[in-house]
Amino acid sequence: MKIKKIGVLGGTGFVGRHLATRLANQGYALKVLTRRPERHRELEVLPGLELLEADVHDPQILQQQFSGCDAVINLVGVLHEYSNQRFGAVHAELPAKVVDACRASGIKRLLHMSALGADAAKGPSQYLFTKGAGEQAVMAVQDLAVTCFKPSIIFGPKDNFYNQFANLLRISPVLPVACPNTRFAPVYVGDVAQAFEIALENDATIGKSYELCGPKIYAFKELVEGIARMLGLKRLVVGLPDGLAQLQGKIMGLLPVKVFTTDNYLSLQVDSVCSGNSPGFAELGMTPHSVESIMPRYFANQSQRRRYDALRQAAGRG
């Protein structure tokens, strides 16, 4: 069946905005569900995109909102728990509700976003454990055509990871990094979005879980040093001994706004690199982009923009 209309959960986030832009420009009609539409009005300029306020955790609302859709994409995920946002509810219970709502609405196609290292048996952190449970639940479903994606850390314009470290490096001559030897294979958000689009159009992807890795592996410390180089900054990046990294997670985890927690420390106990035992970009006919082919130009444009904004402000036009 030709897919025309897609219900998207998590379509307002970093990956979701890139994916929504790509799919809308390809002519798909999108229903993007969000808790706070007023924060994401810019998405409404995309052709055929409806931005709808919805509590996606309410099964009845999900079912109502999916009506008229041919497929669903679930990108919802969180890196930190808060009292009103538990890992289990977001990563494991919500995917099960999505499956039920697809069934009730007669939707046959589901694309699900997991993460590299997600593991319902051995996930070292609650993030990876619950992501694994959600993935396992949707992949076990027999009466839906499901494809799952497991990316390493994702980079690109307005990402959370590279931009957060870039901001820290801009203000700090010395940057301590927890778990400096943990390895990542950063993957470009445009490649992740393309993989989703290919899956929508290619039934050979049904029933498969794709590991998505960029072309190069970096130790965490090396990755942060690379960001400093791209920004043209001389910075000292220091690997924290394990005990201090644990302590950093404990102390920072107590802050009201979470940036690094014990659970993040535990996630860093496993490398985020492809196993080689699952399909990946090659099976999708794609060659992924490197960090070096995307981020230096992005950071350079960002610096230019910052200088321009500073000049405008100095001239009283900010």
Ligand X SMILES: NC(=O)c1ccc[n+]([C@@H]2O[C@H](COP(=O)([O-])OP(=O)(O)OC[C@H]3O[C@@H](n4cnc5c(N)ncnc54)[C@H](OP(=O)(O)O)[C@@H]3O)[C@@H](O)[C@H]2O)c1
> Binding of ligand X at residue 43 (CB under 6 A)?
no
> Binding of ligand X at residue 113 (CB under 6 A)?
yes
Cβ 310 to ligand X shortest distance, Å: 27
Task: Check if the beta carbon of residue 30 is closer than 8 Å to that of residue 51.
Answer: no
Question: Which structure tokens are listed for 160?
Answer: 């959370």
- What is the spatial distance between Cα 205 and Cα 199, in angstroms, rounded to a whole number? 6
Encoded one letter per residue, x for contact with ligand X by CB under 6 A and - for no contact, window 115-144 reads: x-----------------------------
Cβ 211 to ligand X shortest distance, Å: 11
Cβ distance to ligand X smaller for residue 93 or 247? 93
> Binding of ligand X at residue 299 (CB under 6 A)?
no
> Binding of ligand X at residue 151 (CB under 6 A)?
yes
Cβ distance to ligand X smaller for residue 7 or 77? 77
> Binding of ligand X at residue 101 (CB under 6 A)?
no
Q: How many residues bind ligand X (CB under 6 A)?
A: 23
Closest of 200, 206, 209 to residue 142, by C-alpha: 206
Q: Binder to ligand X among 64, 93, 103, 161 (CB under 6 A)?
A: 161
Cβ 47 to ligand X shortest distance, Å: 20
DSSP symbols for the chain? ----EEEEESTTSHHHHHHHHHHHHTT-EEEEEES-GGG-GGGGGSTTEEEEE--TT-HHHHHHHHTT-SEEEE----SS-BTTB-HIIIIIIHHHHHHHHHHHHT--EEEEE--TT--TTT-SSHHHHHHHHHHHHHHT-SSSEEEEEEESSEESTT-SHHHHHHHHHHH-SEEEESSTT-EE--EEHHHHHHHHHHHHH-GGGTT-EEEE--S--EEHHHHHHHHHHHTT---EEEEPPHHHHHHHHHHHTTSSS-SS-HHHHHHTTS-BS--SSS--TGGGT--PPPGGGTHHHHHHHHHHHHHHHHHHHHTT--
> Binding of ligand X at residue 15 (CB under 6 A)?
yes
Cβ distance to ligand X smaller for residue 105 or 163? 163
> Binding of ligand X at residue 7 (CB under 6 A)?
no
Cβ distance to ligand X smaller for residue 135 or 225? 135
Closest residue by beta carbon to ligand X: 13
Question: Which structure tokens are listed for 116?
Answer: 């590299």
Cβ distance to ligand X smaller for residue 83 or 142? 83
Where in 58-97 is the site for ligand X (CB under 6 A)?
75-78, 85, 90
> Binding of ligand X at residue 13 (CB under 6 A)?
yes
Cβ distance to ligand X smaller for residue 73 or 309? 73
Where in 194-223 is the site for ligand X (CB under 6 A)?
none
> Binding of ligand X at residue 35 (CB under 6 A)?
yes
- What is the spatial distance between Cα 302 and Cα 296, in angstroms, rounded to a whole number? 10
Cβ 12 to ligand X shortest distance, Å: 4
> Binding of ligand X at residue 14 (CB under 6 A)?
yes
Q: Are strands 183-184 and 49-53 parallel, antiparallel or unpaired?
A: unpaired
Cβ 263 to ligand X shortest distance, Å: 13
Task: Give the interface with ligand X as residue ranges (CB under 6 A).
Answer: 10, 12-16, 34-36, 56, 75-78, 85, 90, 113, 115, 151, 153-154, 160-161
